Amino acid sequence: MTLDHSLDRDAFFVDGTWTAPATDATLQVVSPHSEQVVATVPEGSAADIDAAVAAARRAFDEGPWPRMAPQERIAVIEAFSGLYAARMGEMAELITTEMGSPISFSQLGQAPAPWMQIEAFLGIARDFAWEETRPGVLGGDVVVRREPVGVVAAIPPWNVPQFTTISKVVPALLAGNTVVVKPAPETPLDSYLMAELLLEAGVPAGAVNIVAGGREVGEHLVAHPGIDKVAFTGSTAAGRRIAAVCGEQLKRVSLELGGKSAAIVLEDADLEATMAGLRFTALMNSGQACVAQTRILAPRSRYAEVVDALAETVSTMSVGDPADPATEIGPMVAQRQQERVEKYIALGQEEGARLVIGGNGRPDGPERGWYVRPTVFADVDNRMRIAQEEIFGPVLAVIAYDGVDDAVRIANDSDYGLAGTVWTSDADAGLGVARRVRAGTYGVNTYTMDFAAPFGGFKDSGIGREFGPEGLAQYTELKSIYTGAPQMG
């Protein structure tokens, strides 16, 4: 993959055109592998957000998009889907360039998965109950409508930027909303490609507007009086702040936040199959995934066996250039993230956990870049900070349990409730465990997100759901219209 400055941009996507920024401030997109600048793009200001919200507001209040029949909007998104499919390879390489995701993961989760979302939402929208008539209990009929919320602020994170952008933009558009997207400052490039595809697909001017920027720009967008709903994916700390602002203004809000998910290995688990699964579910995207199962719960009777198998698995994972198809663990997105992960590795040792493999220091191979050594801790107590706090890197904690009830208790002993897995030779027993763990998504001998089903978290992992009919419904308001009402008196 050639890194050059052909990716530079000098405009935002506002009101259907490439629009000059209000200031000359810029963001530098830096390769986490080479530490070199690969692109420079404008940095959004409050004035740029104001212009984007005004365009979205006009498009919603006066434009054609919310007034189209659902089938007309579906036809435009169908065109977008076809264009997206043709550019998936380019999208995958772009995301690997900007945030260091291993290309093997980008070609699975960073580009094809967003396209699969588009297709899934199209299927859901075709059968969605946009309007239905019900017999009223007081006589006459009631027309129940699903109408768009209004102007949506979509705020994705840097770790899976297209995945989390599409999960908001596509259902919002299908429901008739207009959108302002604020990409993370680390990963603005993929949103430019998305904008090109939306424009070519025929999405009307103002229906989607994109302004990249940092935290202050995001706060301005969230608090903007022209915004009707905020859809955010990111840290729990930021989610709390957004929820407070939206609560004060009674704005609709959906939040997909952090996780500290547990993988429960039952006594009858096939360890070879379990390790093959955990190779992905525990360390996907170099550990920079909210659903990563970084707490490994092992039965005391097989504890040493599980620790040894996990250490062997992690030791064989290739660390290096994310553009290399053989790479399984790439760099952290930024130096600050590398430093954060290293501090947690040091903290784990201070807390008394046993370092089995990894630790601080540059891994073998890469001579530069924001890499950390994939790390496994054993003898971890679930009360330790490395077991309770989201590290967002390739750091695993193995925790012993005594019996299934204890395993479920430990899995639930977390402020988070986003995801999890159970590994067993008895599928029925696994399903029984899955029903007891308080998490929004769960897998028996696997982990995935099926776009036909709702995704989201319990507790501090968020509010609301994405995907499935439930995810589409998040972008609608319910209206009841009474017809033929009985005369009173």
* 188 lies in the same domain as 299: no
Q: How many C-beta atoms surround the C-beta of residue 186 within 10 A?
A: 23
* 196 lies in the same domain as 268: no
In a domain, residue 157? The reply is yes
In a domain, residue 474? The reply is yes
Edge-to-edge strand order for the sheet containing 17-19?
17-19, 12-14, 208-210, 178-181, 151-155, 229-233, 252-256, 462-463
Write the CATH number for 51: 3.40.605.10
* 289 lies in the same domain as 416: yes
Tokens standing for residue 354? 């046993």
* 288 lies in the same domain as 417: yes
Contact 218, 182 (CB under 8 A): yes
In a domain, residue 443? The reply is yes
* 428 lies in the same domain as 352: yes
* 284 lies in the same domain as 419: yes
- Kindly tell me the sign of the dihedral angle through the C-alpha atoms of 362, 368, 372, 374: negative
In a domain, residue 485? The reply is no
pLDDT in tens, the chain (489 residues): 444 558 999 999 999 999 999 999 999 999 999 999 999 999 999 999 999 999 999 999 999 999 999 999 999 999 999 999 999 999 999 999 999 999 999 999 999 999 999 999 999 999 999 999 999 998 889 999 999 999 999 999 999 999 999 999 999 999 999 999 999 999 999 999 999 999 999 999 999 999 999 999 999 999 999 999 999 999 999 999 999 999 999 999 999 999 999 999 999 999 999 999 999 999 999 999 999 999 999 999 999 999 999 999 999 999 999 999 999 999 999 999 999 999 999 999 999 999 999 999 999 888 999 999 999 999 999 999 999 999 999 999 999 999 999 999 999 999 999 999 999 999 999 999 999 999 999 999 999 999 999 999 999 999 999 999 999 999 999 999 998 755 654
* 400 lies in the same domain as 473: no
State which residues form the domain around 393: 262-450
pTM strictly above 0.85? yes
* 310 lies in the same domain as 247: no
- Please report, as a single letter, which amino acid is at residue 456: G
In a domain, residue 233? The reply is yes
Write the CATH number for 410: 3.40.309.10
Contact 416, 430 (CB under 8 A): no
* 221 lies in the same domain as 273: no
* 387 lies in the same domain as 243: no
In a domain, residue 183? The reply is yes
* 301 lies in the same domain as 178: no
- b (16+ CB within 10 A) / e for 218-247: bbbbbbbebbbbbbbbbebebbebbbeebe
> For residues 132 and 422, what is the distance between their CA atoms, to the nearest angstrom?
40
* 227 lies in the same domain as 352: no
**Residues identified as active-site:** 256, 290
Give the residues across from 181 on adjacent strands: 154, 210
In a domain, residue 456? The reply is no
Of 361, 357, 352, give the one whose Cα is nearest residue 387: 352
> For residues 12 and 295, what is the distance between their CA atoms, to the nearest angstrom?
41
User: How many structural domains is the chain composed of?
Assistant: 2
